Amino acid sequence: MRARRVFTKLKICLALLLVLLIVLIILFHYNANRVLKSIAEANMRSITTVAVNDAIYSTLADKVRYDDLVTVTYGEEGEIVSIASNSFQINRIARDAAYVSQQNLQSMSSDGVLVPLGAFFGIEAWAGFGPKVRMKIIPISNVECRFVSSFESAGINQTKHSISLEIVADISIIMPSGTSNFASLTEVLIAESILVGKVPDTYLQADLFGEGYSLAPP
């Protein structure tokens, strides 16, 4: 009987140790995934910023003037009658910026990201230590480019019209430790001009450039 009780206690202890081991493995896996996803996302944010900025620089290599994007029509008394956007030029720039951004993202992320070995232990304090290991990732991106404009008073009967290119990149990262999603917004001033004359309220309140251009994953 005593031997049976000892054996029963031993089985209970082994079962408790097994449960504890499983819990520790789960916690280790959860913490390691969390740290790895955080590092991979930080790396991809940096890559996305560089990719988008390079795309904007490449697309706007030839300086774009205000008159290339917008036509302002004045009336006989010098008042502003209409402000019209150059749809062809705007769509071309937005399309090219979206396409080049997409290509840059694919090219720059094809080699994966470098993760310090300490990050695999799931302890944030160790995340920056140890040799760096290259971790493969599969980035899926959706890039949307659109022009936005703003009007600001610049003096008596004068209005400053600023035109910016806004690029939003929605990124999904698929990696062994899980999937991470984030969005990156980059806005660059393209052109601006001082308009002399009262700007009609319909233009101050409306979206001059429409919906924008979206490029889904290939």
Give yes or no for a contact between 163 and 66, defined as CB atoms under 8 angstroms apart. Answer: yes
Distance CA 36, CA 6 (A): 44
Question: How many CB atoms are closer than 10 A to CB 165?
Answer: 24
pLDDT value for 215: 56
Per-residue pLDDT of the chain (218 residues; tens, 9 = 90+): 566 666 676 777 777 777 777 766 665 556 666 777 777 777 788 888 888 888 888 887 677 788 888 888 888 777 788 888 888 888 888 888 888 888 888 887 777 777 765 666 556 555 556 666 677 777 777 888 888 888 888 778 888 888 888 888 888 777 766 677 878 888 888 888 888 877 777 766 666 676 565 555 54
Which residues form the domain of 126? 2-215
Are the C-beta atoms of 97 and 145 separated by less than 8 Å? Answer: yes
Specify which residues 177 forms β-bridges with: none
Our count of domains for the chain comes to 1
**pLDDT value at position 194?**
86
For residue 112, what pLDDT is reported? 72
Identify the burial level of 17 via C-beta atoms within 10 angstroms of its C-beta, where 0-12 means exposed, 13-18 middle and 19 or more buried.
Answer: exposed
pLDDT at 24: 60
Token code pair at residue 162: 């600023």
